[in-house]
Homo-oligomer: A and B are copies of this chain.
Amino acid sequence: MQFTSEQRLDDGVLEREFTLGEIPGILWTPASATAPAPLILLGHPGGLHKMYPRLAGRARHSAAEGFAAATIELPGSGERLRLVGAEQARADLRRALQAGEPVGDEIIDALILPLVEKAVPEWQTTLDALLSLPEIGGPVGYSGGVISIGVRLAVVEPRISAAVLFAGSFVPRVMFEEARQVTIPLHVLLQWDDEGNDRQAALDLFDAFGTQVKTLHANLGGHTGVPQFAGDAAAQFLTRHLK
């Protein structure tokens, strides 16, 4: 992990950009940390530059609660190499949505599964590097989309203790089986009228999660309309489970 830039934000939060091999990322740490900080991994749909304002907002909110927060670029997004087949799958998805057709399993699988396969080990490598820093301890939470990445991480990565999952992307059928294996506390956010999501599939996925501690917060509105109070409630969930 190589830090490539460093700045203090106006609230004292230290923001550092880094690279881990070919993967760019950003780490935010609280202004004044007296002990190694618990960590929140910030998930997003890809495109670090475009997502920066919202990610930094979430990170500063977390830092105010004493958390470090980190994110990495998704495979195939931003400056990174495209994923084979992803452009085709995205075009197929657009065509299906514009035609008002149901989005077929083969489109969803082609869009999401290669992303999950590649992103999850990258998150794990990033976690190795982050936890080797003296200013970061644990526990660790995951917060955000892509929901299938969060589900896979919750299953395979024992260092993640709780997760906020944003149900804002299509879910491959195979993830419903994996969902049964999730045993950590979950807080699921659903935008009721999300155009890039299948509401019934999101409800079925929530039902499938094997954990004994799960909460669904659904709010009226589209994909980007998560209300401030819903973000606050998700932050409260992480504070309850990670501190």
A: which residues have CB within 8 A of B?
Answer: 192, 203, 206-207, 211-220, 227, 229-230, 233, 236-237, 240
Q: So how many copies of this chain end up in the complex? A: 2
A232, closest chain B residue (CB):
B236
Question: Judging by beta carbons under 8 Å apart, are B230 and A215 in contact?
Answer: yes
Complex Cα spacing A31 to B203, Å = 43
Complex Cα spacing A237 to B203, Å = 23
Q: What 9 A-B pairs come out closest when comparing CB atoms?
A: A216-B218, A214-B220, A215-B219, A217-B217, A233-B233, A212-B220, A229-B240, A215-B217, A203-B203
Complex Cα spacing A213 to B206, Å = 22
Question: Judging by beta carbons under 8 Å apart, are B230 and A220 in contact?
Answer: no
**SS class, residues of chain A in contact with chain B:** mixed
Q: A203-B203, A207-B192 are in contact. Are A215 and B214 (CB under 8 A)?
A: no
Complex Cα spacing A227 to B214, Å = 11
Q: Which residues of B contact A212 (CB under 8 A)?
A: 220
A217, closest chain B residue (CB):
B217
Q: Which of A212, A219, A220, A240 has the most CB of B within 10 A?
A: A220
Name the distance in Å between A224's Cβ and chain B's nearest Cβ: 16
Complex Cα spacing A191 to B62, Å = 29
Name the distance in Å between A192's Cβ and chain B's nearest Cβ: 7
Kindly list 16 other residue pairs between chains A and B, CB separation below 8 angstroms, not including A192-B206, A214-B220, A216-B217: A192-B207, A211-B220, A212-B220, A215-B218, A215-B219, A215-B220, A215-B227, A215-B230, A216-B216, A216-B219, A217-B217, A218-B218, A229-B236, A229-B237, A229-B240, A233-B233
Jot down 27 A-B pairs with beta carbons below 8 A, ordered by A: A192-B206, A192-B207, A192-B214, A192-B216, A203-B203, A206-B218, A211-B220, A212-B220, A213-B220, A214-B219, A214-B220, A215-B217, A215-B218, A215-B219, A215-B220, A215-B227, A215-B230, A216-B216, A216-B217, A216-B218, A216-B219, A217-B217, A218-B218, A229-B236, A229-B237, A229-B240, A233-B233
